[in-house]
Structure formats: C-alpha cells, structure tokens
Structure 1
Amino acid sequence: MKLFPRMKLLLGAGLGASLMLPAVALAAEGMPQLDLANPLTTSQVIWGAIIFVVLYQVLTRNGLPLVASVLDERAARISMDLDGARAAKARADAGVADAREATAKARAEAQGAIAAAVEEAKKAAAAQAETLNARLEKQLADSEAQITAARAAAMGAIRQVATDTAATVVNRLTGISPDQGRLGAAVWSALAARGIG
C-alpha cells in the first residue's frame, strides 16, 4: 500500500523531468511552451490531452465512485451516530425527568411523614400533659384536703390550748375557776377576730 504512492511520486518526477528537457534546450529562443510550430511541443500537447482524457476516464469510472461511496458511507455513519446520540439524549432527558419526578415525590412523601410525625408527637405530648395535669390536680386536691384537715386539727388544738391557758391565767390571777362556756366563747371570738378560728 505504501509502495504505490512512492511509485506515483517517482513516475511524476520522471515525467516532469522529461517534459522539462525540451524546455531547457529551447529556453534560449523564447518560451518553448508556446511554440506550437515545434513538433516536440505539439506532441507534448497531444500526449497531455491523451493523458488528461485517460486520467479523467479512470477517475470518473473508478476513483470518484470510490470516493463518493466512502463519502456516502461516512455520511450514513455520521447520520446513524447522530440519530443514536439523539436517541441517547432523549433517553437521558427522560431519565432526568423521571429522577426529578421521583425526587419531588420522595420529598413530598418525606414532608408528609415529617408532618405526620410532628402531629403524632404533638398528640402524644398533649396526652402526656393532660395525664400529668390530671395527676397534679389530684395531688393538689389531696394536698389541699390534707392542709385543710391539718389546719382544722391545729385550730382545734389551738382552741383547746388557748382555753386551757386562759383558764389557768384567770385562776392564778383571781384565784377563781372561770366558767368554761363563757371562757370558750371568748377564746372563740378572739381567735375569729384574728382570722385563726
């Protein structure tokens, strides 16, 4: 394959050298290329025309159809590659659209799950707070009842202590034992005036 272009180059160089020999020989008389009276020039023109026609026929029948078929094959391959690339791009675009849709759907589901979890946590917190409030209310009511009972017991004890103390003081000061009914009523009204009874 590489030998054929070299041969063409050698043949072209030899042909060029053989065509230049008459020109060098006749260079002193003027331009020999335009001297059509010279038989050498006439034969060169005829041979040039024959070679041109032969090359034209060879190229139009063999060379140019090969080049055209290569160009057509290349254009068909490029067209197939472009069609394949367009189809791949369409598939990729569809994949991207599917991925975006799936991402949006997953995001919406996640938001829904988060909202449901928050709502559930709020309900659980409200139920727990209600339970704790009920327990605290019960404890508060029990404590108030205990305080009321303790206060009543303390008031009863204060009344008794105050009555006994007043009776002892009156007995020591006067030497007379006071009337328990009157003394109890006086102690009761004194304690009531101070907000203790």
Structure 2
Amino acid sequence: MPQLDQIPEIYASQVFWLAIVFALIYFGIGKAMVPKIERTMEDRSARISGDLAAAEAARDAAKAADEAYQAGLDAARAEALRVTAGAKAQAATAAEAKLKAATAADEARLADATRSIAEREQAAIGEIEAATVEAVEAIVARVSGVAVDRASVEQKVKAALAHG
C-alpha cells in the first residue's frame, strides 16, 4: 500500500509541524487567553466581594435605621402615654371640680327648697290654726250661743294640733 509506504518519509515533518501547531495553540491559549480569563474571574470575584460588602453595609445601615425607628416609636408611645395620662388626670380634675360645683349648687337649691317648704309649712300651719280658731269660735257660738275668748281658743287649738 503506497499510502503506508510514505509514512516513514514524511513522519519527521509531520511531527515537526504537529509540535509547531501544539506550541502555537499552547502559547496562544496559555499565554494570551488564559490570563484574560483569569483576570475576568478575578474581576468577577472582586465585584462579587464588593457587592457582598456593600450589601452587608446596607443591611447594617438598614438595621441601624430600624433600631432608630423603633426607638423613635417607643419614645412616641411613651410621650403619648404621658400626654394621655395628663389629659386623663386633667379631665378627672375638671370632672371632679364640676361635680363639686354641681353638688354645691344642688345643696344650695336643696337648702333653699327646704327653707321654702318650712316657710310654706309654717304659713299653712298658721292658716290652718287661724281657720280652726275661727271654726271653733263659730261652732261654739252656734251650738252654745256663748262668745268664747279668742286667746283661749287659739291656745287650745295649738295644743291640740301639736299633740295630734
């Protein structure tokens, strides 16, 4: 076979060109492309590290802001409770003052009403006594025909009304 007969003649040149092609590929890829790939990987790693550090810093800042917000809320709640307690105390004081004023007014009206009732009662009793005295005088004068002393009739009517 003639194709196989020529192998020993061209074997050395084939190996030579094979070595040159492998050398070109090795130096082309190994010296030109691999450093670019490594640089890209290092840049990517650095960017990822930077992004992670920035994210962690942002998380810490957010946590600090949240803590400040919670502290502000707690302070606002405490202030609201203080104001509410003050308003309740003020309202209770005002209500107590109004209650005292209303009680005093009611007591004054009650005293006036009691005094008025007592005056009217005395006036009514006086009128009843006068009417009774007149009735007794008229009855005694009509029944017995004798005129009685008004002072003694008043005294007896008062004693009878006092003892019931």
| TM bin (shorter chain) | 0.7 to 0.9
Q: 2:67 aligns with which of 97, 117, 142?
A: 97
Residue aligning to 2:132: 162
**Unaligned runs of at least 5 residues, structure 2:** none
Q: TM-score, normalised by structure 2?
A: 0.88
Identity %: 31
CA offsets 1:101-142 (integer angstroms, 9 cap, x no match): 111111111111111111111110100110111111111111
Shift of 1:190: 1.7
CA offsets 1:84-116 (integer angstroms, 9 cap, x no match): 111111111111111111111111111111111
- The code of the aligned residue for 1:84 comes to A
Write the distance in 2 (CA, Å) between the matches of 1:40 and 1:106.
94
Q: How does 1:104-143 map to 2 (within 5 A)?
A: 104-143=74-113
Corresponding position: 1:53 with 2:12: no
Write the distance in 2 (CA, Å) between the matches of 1:43 and 1:149.
152
Q: TM-score, normalised by structure 1?
A: 0.74
CA offsets 1:50-90 (integer angstroms, 9 cap, x no match): 32222112222221111111111111111111111111111
Write the distance in 2 (CA, Å) between the matches of 1:47 and 1:185.
166
Residue aligning to 2:38: 68
* Structure of higher RCO (CA pairs closer than 8 Å, 6+ residues apart): 2
Write the distance in 2 (CA, Å) between the matches of 1:149 and 1:67.
119
**Unaligned runs of at least 5 residues, structure 1:** 1-24, 27-31
Change (3 A) 1:41 1:166: farther
2:63 counterpart SS class: helix
Shift of 1:179: 2.7
Change (3 A) 1:91 1:173: same
Shift of 1:41: 5.8
Shift of 1:42: 5.7
Q: What number of residue pairs does the alignment pair up?
A: 162
Q: 2:47 aligns with which of 65, 68, 77?
A: 77
Corresponding position: 1:152 with 2:152: no
Write the distance in 1 (CA, Å) between the matches of 2:116 and 2:88.
41
Write the distance in 1 (CA, Å) between the matches of 2:90 and 2:9.
114
